Amino acid sequence: MKKNKIPIPTYVSPWMTPELEMLRESVSKFFQAEFLPHEERWSKNGMIDRDAWLKAGEMGLLCASAPEEYGGSGGTLAHDAVIFGEQSRALVTSFGNIPHSGIVAQYLISYGTEEQKKKYLPKMISGEMVGSIAMSEPDAGSDLQRIRTRAVLECDQYRINGSKIFITNGFHADLLCMAVKTSDTAGYKGISMILLETKDLKGFKRGRLLDKMGYKGTDTAELFFGDVVVPKQNILGGVEGQGFYQMMGQLPQERLYIAINFQAQMEKAIEITIEYVENRLVFGQKLSELQNTRFKLAECATETKLARLFLDHCIVSYLNGSFDTSTSAMAKWWITQKAYEVVDTCLQLHGGNGYILDYPIAKMFQNVRLGKIYGGSNEIMKEIIARSMFS
């Protein structure tokens, strides 16, 4: 008599609550029904439909951790983690919600003046305004001290000249949170963050959409600023020279969001590969019955579980206020590296089909390569960790 399989207990993250589980289910259904059917078209167009942001706002997916007094739901990073994770599991790659909700909104919440919060957060929460963070320049990526875009104070306004590159949401952005030099002080002390509303902004120009290897539908653009003039009160927080400190304060959270995204992709890669090998026949038997297949997936499952446990530790640490820069660097580099390795292994198990873009695993492979680069390259992450060890 064939024995029934013993069910494997479902792992539940220690920070997950019944409320968050309900959110997870509704978010998953939303992405599957409303966004996933359009992914192929968005990827070909190089951008998402503008009204998709309004739909996401109506669903409560934007700036979920924003305080209630600004129109938010008063959630925590855990709410953002659920939303970002489910987007990744749904294979919705065109929606740039992490820069919008996880970065720009967090800059405003953490450092913005009361006037700036009231002016911008409600519109970002509804999707009326799309937010974008503008840091990278042609000669300044991970090394943000090298930025050259200048904002010169003239009476009660700033005149801005320069350019930015690799800007996610760059085409749709209504609000830019941008790193600029506001003084000739060497290094990081002369950097400030400034807010720009792009609508009818004289001297502001969007360049071409960049043709990327992956994340094809996430609009990524070059931005140019020629004698752009904005009011003095647009300096984030109202004080010059705080930009580098503000960036360094937010990067650990940003890197945690990246880890959330890529750990979810690890789980998804295993899920779709198990389904594939269970239905693929090789030499008269299921591919899943071959020892190599089983051992490779066992290795992937182990590393994915370790990534989940480490990620949960990071989220709990963040929620209780003990998360630190070094641990964020560890999470970012290790999880993105393992995501790349797991997806590569899963693609190999698909054989020739894994190289065909009709199969989700091929697109996932294109996408996960970015993880080792953005948010600070993994080489920089290791340097941050090393500094904490030898300082």
Residue 186 has pLDDT above 90, yes or no: no
Distance (Å, whole) CA 42 – CA 92:
10
In a domain, residue 4? The reply is no
Query: Are residues 156 and 58 located together in one domain of the fold?
Result: no
- 154 token code pair: 């003239």
Where is the domain boundary, 96, 129, 162?
129
Look up the pTM and report it. Answer: 0.94
In a domain, residue 10? The reply is no
- Tell me which residue of 367, 353, 371, 345 sits closest to 270, measured CA to CA: 345
**Residues known to be catalytic:** 254
Taken in order 345, 349, 354, 360, the sign of the CA dihedral is negative
In a domain, residue 289? The reply is yes
Rounded-to-10 torsion of CA 336, 92, 80, 377: 30
Contact 187, 254 (CB under 8 A): no
Residue 9 has pLDDT above 60, yes or no: no
Q: Could you tell me the pLDDT band of residue 1, with boundaries at 50, 70 and 90?
A: very low
Residue 327 has pLDDT above 70, yes or no: yes
pLDDT at 8: 52
Query: Are residues 253 and 383 located together in one domain of the fold?
Result: yes
- Tell me which residue of 47, 383, 18, 49 sits closest to 211, measured CA to CA: 47
In a domain, residue 332? The reply is yes
Query: Are residues 29 and 75 located together in one domain of the fold?
Result: yes
In a domain, residue 8? The reply is no
| Cβ count within 10 A of residue 105 | 28
Contact 254, 102 (CB under 8 A): yes
Contact 225, 161 (CB under 8 A): yes
Chain-wide mean pLDDT for the chain? Answer: 94
Residue 63: domain span: 18-129
Number of domains in the chain: 3
